[in-house]
Amino acid sequence: MAKLFGTDGIRGTVNSHPMTSQIAMDVAVAAGHIFRETLTYRPTVVIAKDTRLSGYQIEPAMVTGFSSVGWDVLLLGPMPTPAVAALTRSMRADMGVMLSASHNPYRDNGIKLFGPQGYKFSDKIEQQIEATVERMGQEGPDFALVGPDQLGRVRRLDGAEGRYMELVKASFPNDLRLDGLKVVVDCANGAAYRIAPRILYELGADVVEYAVSPDGLNINDQCGATAPKNLRLKVLETGADIGLALDGDADRLIVVDENGRVIDGDQIMALISLNMKNSGRLKGEGLVSTVMSNLGLERFLEAEGMRLERTKVGDRFVLERMKQLGWNLGGEQSGHMILSDYATTGDGMVAALQVLSVMVRQSRRASEVLNQFSPVPQVLKNVRFTGANPLDADPVKDVIREVEGEFGNAGRLVIRPSGTEPLIRVMAEGDDAAFVDQAVNRICEVVRASAG
């Protein structure tokens, strides 16, 4: 059977493998069966979704699967991914499920699974689920199903939004307020379209809402963390102090300062790490990020007496390394920020409140606090492919080896397949901007030729 899980759960185009109702139901049956065998009571799973039209298709399939193996189901409705992680833990549920394809367009959807402590499943558990789904395909699901008197019950949970909002607000210093601060919040027509503006309003901000009218098809459409152009215009048009862009499931944050400059996760992490270090809240020697973070961030941390620990791309790998080291800050250039004192996964609003708290406490503008270092020239381009992975082709291997030799110690090269789309991501950085751009284009040409 084809592999189901990628970098961040299961993801794909709806009604195509692996994102079908049948697979969703089978995954629920498999996960429910595996965990139920270790429990002596009737377990509970909480399920949330973002605002995609396909959520109405995938959610009932997951409900059917879990209830058929004896799990009670609590439906949260549209909620951010970090809300699922937080509520799974705070409500003592046995599993959490988020139906979302994050920053992808509406035609895609995905399944993210969380254990009882609010952490995403490990590779080992994902492999067990895949093996059980495969067994069901060969033998049928009867070995996993419960009798008619053991079926799970299903109900919608009222008040879930309020519970999560209070958890997020608790991450903001209780001696501060956002009064007098004008904030544009771009909710990507996604899961936080109600929650994010309310959190900011209740903390005192003058809130300008953007992309808060989901229709099932407009999630991440020219809005959100991966498309901040319109947020820039809105910040400049309204004279706002800052713009906050979340993605479809609100686990990412990208910022726009008062001048319309887009700020990525590296600058946000630099600010938060320095603030946590200076206030004595930073655990460990620095922060954990991925191979994609800019060399400028690494140099900044070193100058401030901290260090950057790099991992593979994916917030789950960042979190795993944070737990191994005992550190409490990590993230990705793309905008995932994990502050483990407050959340067990990336949380865009928790990260946003850390940025806003620095602005308020220091009485400084966004452009001042979010300009901690000068990025090293970096270029990232994507090449879409069909069929075999072009990175396995000899011409691609040869050109990568050649460029790495030319870079020497003057830069970095990161080439990898996307974990969520059929793309090859080609990234290079170094002090010579022209050479970096030339290197990326050179590699992309060969990858494109090998991709057919």
Assess contact for 99 and 191: CB atoms under 8 A: no
- Residue 309 token pair: 């620990």
Token couple for 390: 């072009």
**H runs (alpha helix) in 37-77:** 55-68
Q: Are 260 and 62 in contact (CB under 8 A)?
A: no
Q: Residue 244 is inside which H or E element, if any?
A: strand 242-246
3 state DSSP class of 285: coil
Instruction: Kindly give the interhelix angle for 265-278 and 348-362, rounded to the nearest 10 degrees.
Output: 60
CA 294-279-288 angle, 5° bins? 30
- Nearest C-alpha neighbor of 6 from the set 77, 108, 96, 88: 108
3-state secondary structure of 10: strand
Residue 207: closest CA among 192, 221, 219: 192
CA angle 307, 308, 309 (to 5 degrees): 120
**Phi-psi label, residue 103: left if phi above 0, alpha if psi -120 to 50, beta otherwise:** alpha
Burial class (CB in 10 A: 0-12, 13-18, 19+), 301: buried
Residue among 102, 171, 357, 450 flagged as catalytic: 102
**Residue matched to tokens 């080992």:** 124
Q: Which two tokens stand for residue 177?
A: 């307020």
Q: If you ran DSSP here, which 8-state letter would residue 14 be given?
A: T
CA 307 distance to own-chain centroid: 23
Q: Which residue has the tokens 């544009």?
A: 184
Question: Does residue 102 have an active-site annotation?
Answer: yes
Q: Which sequence positions are flagged as catalytic?
A: 102
